[in-house]
Amino acid sequence: MSRNVELKQSLKSLKPNVRRVTANKIPEYNTKNIQGYDAYKLDKWLRLLSILNTSKVEPQFYRSASQTLTELQTLINECGKENAYLTAQCIVYSRCVGEGLRTINQVAAVLLAPHLAGRDFAKRFYSLWDKKAKKGGTIYRADDMSNIVEIFSSINKVPLTNAMRRGFRNALERLDAHSLLKYKNDIFNIIRLTHPNPNNGVKVYANEGSISVLSAIRNGLNLSADTWETSNSEAGQLVATAVKEGKIDKQQASTILSDAKADNWKGLLKEGKLGILAALRNIRSIVSVAKNDTEVIAILCNLISNGELIRKGKIFPYQIDIAYELVKDELGDTMTGRQIAKALLTGYESAIPNLSELLTGRTAVFIDVSASMWGYGGYIYNTYNQKKANTSAGDKACLIAATIAKATNADLYQFGGTARKAIWDINSNVFALSEGLKANLGSTNLASAFRLAEQLKEKYDRIIILSDNECNRGSNKEAYKSYVGNIGNPYIYSVDLAAYGTAPIAGDRVRYYFGYGYQMFEDISSAEFKPDLEKVKKIVI
């Protein structure tokens, strides 16, 4: 018996209705990138934010450190003349809320100084950021002040401005005892220059009485913060003295000092006095002297797997990745090595918002693995897995891609001169997956990724592009427009990992991000297409 005869005849009489999605508001190119290829120019405010949130004042593949600083100076002058307060907000946001880069934002704070003369908010700009209230100035850490003074005095005849003096004085009077003592060598000169009121500052008990920490530092009293630096330095001095006095030989000294440092790490960890950043930066030293102490390793693992502390401490993904590499080098495939590696993985993944709930639907990540992505600070990644001294833009891109893939089951596309769809194992941990994505595909052809997705007829709700944006092959606009017209119109999140000043595509569904911190993940998840500048404008100085 023939079924659906009438339905078949009715459908046969219909003409095909081909519906193409309109690529709304895809503008024409309006500039060239550094290499001279078509691109979209970012407005000065987004360019400023991109540099403040991605640049480490180090050589890049297409730009030297001095060229970065020259562009920063130009942008600060342009933006400062137009709106000094908004420029200050950009710096405070970038240092205290965004990616938290230090040197580039300290330089920016100095360059803005001429535009702040006579402004009532100037002293607040150079004062302390209130981490609880989430408002205030650009001083996130006590040593920000000394670095700003060093930069300012190197290009001016005076050490600081009146606004800096008043702002730093206020910051010193508000800092806690631990911060003051930890950075006492850095802020000694700041105290001398600003003359804070000791009675307004914090006090501690010493010799059966209270003493102003500011007075103690100014007068050179022996009052120290209980930190790993002071503990291990004191241990080294004591052992060296014992050797000099002939009480122990050098071989004994090595063993004794190792045991003393292990006890110091253990004490600081047990008492909660070792910060998570210090733990990550010193993880090789800790495990080298305490790898057989199960209690120390357990406490260390609890610390470095604490997602809340990682977020509060503005720990970058690459910092955990570096710690992971150091642990592998130091301990290899041992029981302790696996234990710490698992803790680092937990810390990394727990610090990222639950992207599987926030980024619903289908996600694709386009990963730039062209040659320029592996050039950073003079170190180039190659296929022989040679060790790298610095983290490259490619390292960042692969780590972000692995994170998003693990969280959302995203499709991954690697592109260089050509594009390919990556095959990856959902059971791999994020670090192993990141390593597996690394490659060198030559030139930069973003268009090839869009064309491949179109060829495969893959329709996505969003596409995240991780690149240095120096595209030199293909026609990005035409490829993007073709994908939108023939397949679908996804949200596009273009993550700039180098801040060279241009973007490869533009449109009403394209949004730009600079750097790759947690703020980016949280913001992407909201899918609210407002300029990044809107968040900056909410900063209260």
Angle (nearest 5°) at CA 421 between 418 and 427: 145
Residue 502 covered by a domain = yes
Residue 38 covered by a domain = no
> Residues 74-113, buried b or exposed e (16+ Cβ, 10 A)?
ebbeebbeeebbbbbbbbbbbbbbbbbbeebbbbbbbbbb
Phi, psi of 115 (to 5 degrees): -85, -5
Residue 474 covered by a domain = yes
**Same domain flag for 184 and 290:** no
**Same domain flag for 278 and 162:** no
pLDDT for res 530: 47
| Number of domains composing the chain | 3
Q: Which of 39-43, 93-97, 220-224, 507-511 has the lowest mean pLDDT?
A: 220-224
**Same domain flag for 185 and 282:** no
Whether residue 275 is predicted with pLDDT greater than 70 in this model: the reply is yes
The answer for residues whose C-beta is within 8 angstroms of residue 502's C-beta and 6 or more apart is 31, 32, 33, 34, 39, 40, 41, 42, 469
What's the rounded mean pLDDT across residues 388-392?
55
Whether residue 87 is predicted with pLDDT greater than 90 in this model: the reply is yes
pLDDT for res 39: 65
Residues 112, 81 contacting (CB under 8 angstroms): no
**Same domain flag for 403 and 472:** yes
Residue 10 covered by a domain = no
Q: Which of 168-172, 291-295, 374-378 has the lowest mean pLDDT?
A: 374-378
Q: Which of residues 252 and 345 earns the better pLDDT score?
A: 345
Q: Return d(Cα 428, Cα 112) in angstroms, integer.
A: 46
What's the rounded mean pLDDT across residues 459-476?
84
**Same domain flag for 512 and 371:** yes
pLDDT for res 523: 62
pTM above threshold 0.85: no
Whether residue 292 is predicted with pLDDT greater than 90 in this model: the reply is no
**Same domain flag for 156 and 119:** yes
Residue labelled with tokens 């022989």: 384
pLDDT for res 2: 53
Whether residue 104 is predicted with pLDDT greater than 50 in this model: the reply is yes
pLDDT tens digits, one per residue of 27-84:
776 666 666 666 666 778 888 988 888 776 654 544 566 777 888 888 999 999 999 9
> Residues 396-407, buried b or exposed e (16+ Cβ, 10 A)?
bbbbbbbbbbbb
- For CA atoms 243, 247, 248, 249, the dihedral sign is positive
What's the rounded mean pLDDT across residues 161-190?
88
**Same domain flag for 141 and 264:** no
Q: Return d(Cα 398, Cα 425) in angstroms, integer.
A: 14
pLDDT tens digits, one per residue of 126-137:
999 998 888 999
The answer for residues whose C-beta is within 8 angstroms of residue 168's C-beta and 6 or more apart is 126, 127, 139, 145, 160, 190, 193, 194
pLDDT for res 199: 81
pLDDT for res 266: 75
Whether residue 389 is predicted with pLDDT greater than 50 in this model: the reply is no
**Same domain flag for 188 and 311:** no
At 40, list the tokens.
């979209």
From residue 304, alpha-carbon distances to 63, 64, 185, 332, 343 in Å are: 35, 35, 28, 18, 6
> Residues 192-210, buried b or exposed e (16+ Cβ, 10 A)?
ebbebebeebbbeeeeeee
**According to the per-residue pLDDT averaged within each range, which of 12-16, 336-340, 386-390 is highest?**
336-340
**Domain containing residue 499: CATH number:** 3.40.50.410
pLDDT for res 250: 65
| pLDDT band at 113; cut points 50, 70, 90 | very high
What's the rounded mean pLDDT across residues 461-466?
91
Residue 9 covered by a domain = no
pLDDT for res 357: 62
**Same domain flag for 365 and 277:** no
Task: Please list the residues that pair with 203 across neighbouring strands.
Answer: 212
Phi, psi of 517 (to 5 degrees): -80, -175
**Same domain flag for 75 and 214:** yes
Q: Return d(Cα 464, Cα 524) in angstroms, integer.
A: 9
Whether residue 208 is predicted with pLDDT greater than 60 in this model: the reply is no
Domain final residue, candidates 297, 324, 351: 351
Domain final residue, candidates 298, 322, 351: 351
Whether residue 421 is predicted with pLDDT greater than 70 in this model: the reply is yes
Residue 87 covered by a domain = yes
Residues 68, 111 contacting (CB under 8 angstroms): no
Residue 19 covered by a domain = no
Q: Return d(Cα 188, Cα 19) in angstroms, integer.
A: 70
Whether residue 477 is predicted with pLDDT greater than 50 in this model: the reply is yes
Whether residue 540 is predicted with pLDDT greater than 50 in this model: the reply is yes
The answer for residues whose C-beta is within 8 angstroms of residue 462's C-beta and 6 or more apart is 359, 361, 362, 363, 364, 490, 491, 492, 493, 524, 527
Whether residue 462 is predicted with pLDDT greater than 70 in this model: the reply is yes
Domain that holds residue 321: 228-351
pLDDT tens digits, one per residue of 149-170:
999 998 888 889 999 999 999 9
Whether residue 20 is predicted with pLDDT greater than 50 in this model: the reply is no
Instruction: Tell me which long-range contacts 141-145 makes (C-beta under 8 A, separation of at least 24).
Output: 141/102, 141/179, 141/183, 142/171, 142/175, 142/179, 142/180, 142/182, 142/183, 142/186, 142/187, 143/183, 143/186, 143/187, 144/95, 144/102, 144/106, 145/171, 145/172, 145/186, 145/187, 145/190
**Same domain flag for 409 and 529:** yes
Domain final residue, candidates 309, 324, 351: 351
Residue labelled with tokens 């930066």: 281
Residue 391 covered by a domain = yes
**Same domain flag for 197 and 240:** no
